């Protein structure tokens, strides 16, 4: 089991920010990354649909012999985590929300915490529930920022347009009793981090839920004695359900390195549609 790959999935390329932090923290592990690009975005869909998609994507990864499953998508973590853990009780299944919520609770001085996310993640109430479980008196504001996903995928990560959009989203939450901590509750948002810091100023702590999830993956595998024992450089396989050319073009901003379109295997999830 030790040298089997870690499976990572997202609706598209946003989860590559999680993969990037995993590689930095665990450079000798192997990874299989699946972007369900044919059906993105998950952030505008119902919880039932997201759960169905997540079960299908995870089944495709499990079929390839992974030792752990990382849900590199906040929306899928919000809705599908219980179903995935029930389906794979013998495998570590790790989402990004629990780790991000715990880190936010530790970082916040006042207990006033804002969560930037997609519409679906905000509607799910998953972040407030996870934060209140750790810090019952926390004051939480959810900020749905779905337009930021499109900006990130277009490569618009800095500049006046991005700043204006951020001001529009964030200003109401900071008008009275402003939070001292903001959770980046979407895996697309870390590529906008510099502009978010500019808008919020230096006194607001930012928590990257994907980065904290990578630390939790390391802790989980270490405790189970399943960290890779090899010393070879990371081996990564990329899967997508559509549009390998666009996946490769957009991926560099999220992963920090280029991917050749020919290196991305396009797969069909229909054989895994029977997930009940």
**Does the active-site annotation cover 145?**
no
Successive 10-residue mean pLDDT values, the chain, 276 residues: 92 94 94 94 91 97 97 96 96 96 97 96 96 98 94 90 96 93 96 95 94 94 90 83 90 89 91 72
pLDDT at 262 (0 to 100): 81
Residue among 19, 55, 73, 148 flagged as catalytic: 73
What stretches of the chain adopt beta strand conformation (E)? 6-10, 30-35, 68-71, 93-95, 112-117, 139-144, 181-184, 205-208, 235-240, 264-266
pLDDT at 275 (0 to 100): 55
CA gap 275, 273 in Å, rounded: 6
Rounded to two decimals, what is the model's pTM?
Answer: 0.93
CA gap 21, 26 in Å, rounded: 8
CA gap 269, 260 in Å, rounded: 22
| For residue 204, cis peptide bond before it (omega within 30 degrees of 0) | no
pLDDT at 40 (0 to 100): 87
pLDDT digits (tens, 9 = 90+) for 120-156: 999 999 999 999 999 999 999 999 999 999 899 888 9
- Biggest CA pair distance of the chain: 52
pLDDT at 233 (0 to 100): 64
141: three-class secondary structure by DSSP? strand
Residue among 186, 217, 239, 259 flagged as catalytic: 186
Domains and CATH numbers, the chain: 6-95+211-272 (3.40.50.1860), 97-209 (3.40.50.1860)
What lies within 8 Å, CB to CB, of 265 at 6+ separation is 237, 238, 239, 240, 244
């Amino acid at each position: 089991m030790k040298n089997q790959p870690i499976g990572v999935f997202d609706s598209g390329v946003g989860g590559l920010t999680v993969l990037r932090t995993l590689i930095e923290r665990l450079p000798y592990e192997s990874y299989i990354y699946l972007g369900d690009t044919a059906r993105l975005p998950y952030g505008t869909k119902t919880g039932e649909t997201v759960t169905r998609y997540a079960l299908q994507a995870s089944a495709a990864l499990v079929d390839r012999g992974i030792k752990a499953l990382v849900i590199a998508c906040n929306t899928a973590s919000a809705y599908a985590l219980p179903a995935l853990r029930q389906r794979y009780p013998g495998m570590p299944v790790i989402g990004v929300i629990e780790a991000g919520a715990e880190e936010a609770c530790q970082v916040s001085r006042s207990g006033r915490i804002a969560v930037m996310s997609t519409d679906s993640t905000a509607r799910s109430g998953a972040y407030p529930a996870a934060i209140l479980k750790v810090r019952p008196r926390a004051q939480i504001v959810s900020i749905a920022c779905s337009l930021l996903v499109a900006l990130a995928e277009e490569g618009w990560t800095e500049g006046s347009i991005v700043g204006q959009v951020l001001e529009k989203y964030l200003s109401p939450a900071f008008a009275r009793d402003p939070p001292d901590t903001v959770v980046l509750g979407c895996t697309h948002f870390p590529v906008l981090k510099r502009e978010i810091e500019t808008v919020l100023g230096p006194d607001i702590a930012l928590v990257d839920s994907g980065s904290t999830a990578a630390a939790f993956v390391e802790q989980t595998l270490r405790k189970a004695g399943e960290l890779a024992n090899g010393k070879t450089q990371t081996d990564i396989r990329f899967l997508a359900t559509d549009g390998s050319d666009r996946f490769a073009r957009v991926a560099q901003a999220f992963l920090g390195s280029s991917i050749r379109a020919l290196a991305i295997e396009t797969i069909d999830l229909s054989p895994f549609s029977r997930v009940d």
